[in-house]
């Protein structure tokens, strides 16, 4: 089992570390296994281990209809959209790819596997293969620091009245909020429940093995949790004192049995009871909860992070990409996706379209959102190299 999980982690580490970075189809991952020279047994093991990347509603309510579209978003031709495949992209297709194509007159051509490294190569060689892709904003900024690799977002097309300023960036438009937070086994902690990072760090009151994100494999260590555990208030997290954050991580280090490099791993470890508490992405916990695992998510002091749409510089259909980006951040498309998977929305007007029971489970629910802090992508874009440079040496101490 452990050998199989090592295979899973290795394959996942090859991709982008978004909450659905490993959300490719099983067929896609099996092709990867074949290219790596893995045998049929290993490939089959991978297929057995692979959990669903997002929790699609088993019997979702009727989605709100999209019956019209602003004239400024209509056009012709195509737009090449690159997302993360699998169940996640299936939900995107139903939520907004198909309505956009039907109402705009612009054909959506889908691709999988957005990668900032590839964007750099495509722009450098003037061979841009897709027009818009889904990225973490910090990745967009990192690449922007290396040169002119992104088109500016045309905000004259966007419903900016209902999208908070913190979701708007000159070269990317946030579109998929998710939570990076803690989860725990309720059959282990039956009475007292962890409600903060100080509790996560308290191994006497809440004993047992933990798992947390690594500072490798495309990830960064969760320094925000470390400074919160050390007593920092949520409005004083940034700028992070990197040395103090690592000193705080040292206090929990001996209880961390796995520094994970793939988002599926903490959910699997909680499900298998290899960890009793974990840092995880909320969309990864939902599938094991749906399958009956006694696991609960803690929202207080979680990080509200987002993926964003960004348009590579020189994309052939960049005008259509701008219209597509504006369309899917309108209220109805945003609501449709949140009704299919447990991720949030950036358009505040979408809240009126999502059933109350579903709304209260999303990281953008007012009652949940107010418990969390906004992840500072700019700080990470500016300081990522410093944080990662310190990781390997710290881990060996």
Query: How does pLDDT run across 341-373, given as a tens digit for each residue?
Result: 888 999 999 999 999 999 888 998 888 989 999
Determine phi and psi for 284, rounding to 5 degrees.
Answer: -85, -25
Task: Decide whether 71-177+306-369 matches 179-304+376-396 in CATH topology.
Answer: yes
Q: What is the DSSP string of 1-50?
A: -HHHHHHHHHHHHTS--STTTT---HHHHHHHHHHTT--HHHHHHHHHH-
Query: How is residue 297 written in tokens?
Result: 């998510």
C-alpha gyration radius of the chain:
21
Q: Which residues contact 74 (CB under 8 A, 6 or more apart)?
A: 103, 104, 105, 106, 323
pLDDT (mean) for 322-331? 98
Domain ranges in the chain?
2-45, 71-177+306-369, 179-304+376-396
The verdict on domain 71-177+306-369 having CATH code 3.40.190.10 is yes
pTM: 0.76
CA distances to 41, 44, 214, 257 from 4, rounded to whole Å, are 10, 10, 20, 17
Distance CA 111, CA 106 (A): 16
- Range of weakest confidence among 37-51, 136-150, 180-194: 37-51
CATH number for the domain whose boundaries are 179-304+376-396: 3.40.190.10
253-269 pLDDT tens trace: 999 999 998 778 899 99
């Amino acid at each position: 089992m452990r050998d199989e999980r090592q295979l899973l982690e290795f394959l996942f580490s090859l991709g982008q570390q978004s909450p659905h970075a490993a959300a490719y189809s099983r067929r896609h991952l099996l092709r990867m296994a074949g290219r790596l020279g893995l045998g049929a047994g290993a490939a089959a093991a991978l297929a057995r281990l692979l959990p669903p990347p997002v929790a699609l509603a088993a019997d979702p309510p009727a989605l709100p209809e999209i019956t019209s579209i602003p004239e400024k978003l209509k056009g012709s031709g195509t737009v090449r959209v690159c997302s993360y495949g699998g169940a996640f992209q299936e939900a995107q297709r139903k939520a907004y790819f198909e309505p956009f194509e039907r109402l705009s007159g612009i054909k959506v051509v889908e691709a999988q596997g957005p990668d900032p490294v590839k964007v750099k190569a495509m722009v450098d060689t003037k061979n841009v293969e897709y027009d818009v892709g889904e990225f973490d904003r910090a990745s967009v900024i990192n690449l922007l620091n290396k040169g002119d690799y992104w088109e500016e977002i045309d905000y004259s097309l966007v419903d900016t009245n209902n999208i908070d300023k913190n979701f708007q960036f000159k070269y990317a438009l946030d579109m998929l909020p998710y939570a990076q937070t803690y989860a725990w086994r309720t059959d282990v902690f039956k009475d007292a429940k962890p409600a903060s990072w100080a509790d996560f760090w308290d191994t006497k009151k809440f004993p047992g093995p933990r798992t947390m994100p690594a500072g490798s494999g495309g990830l960064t260590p969760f320094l925000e949790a470390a400074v919160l555990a050390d007593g920092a208030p949520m409005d004083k997290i940034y700028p992070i004192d990197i040395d103090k954050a690592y000193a705080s991580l040292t206090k929990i280090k001996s209880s961390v049995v796995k520094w994970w490099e793939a988002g599926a791993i903490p959910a699997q470890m909680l499900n298998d009871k290899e960890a009793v508490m974990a840092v995880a992405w909320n969309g990864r916990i939902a599938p094991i909860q749906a399958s009956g695992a006694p696991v609960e998510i803690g929202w207080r002091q979680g990080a509200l992070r987002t993926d964003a749409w960004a348009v590579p510089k020189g994309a052939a259909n960049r005008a259509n990409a701008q219209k597509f980006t504006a369309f899917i951040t309108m209220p109805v498309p945003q609501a449709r996706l949140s009704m299919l998977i447990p991720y949030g929305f950036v358009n505040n007007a979408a809240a009126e379209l999502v059933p109350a029971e579903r709304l209260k489970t999303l990281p953008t629910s007012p009652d949940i959102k107010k418990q969390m802090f906004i992840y500072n992508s700019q700080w990470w874009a500016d300081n990522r190299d410093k944080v990662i440079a310190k990781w390997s040496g710290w881990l060996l101490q």
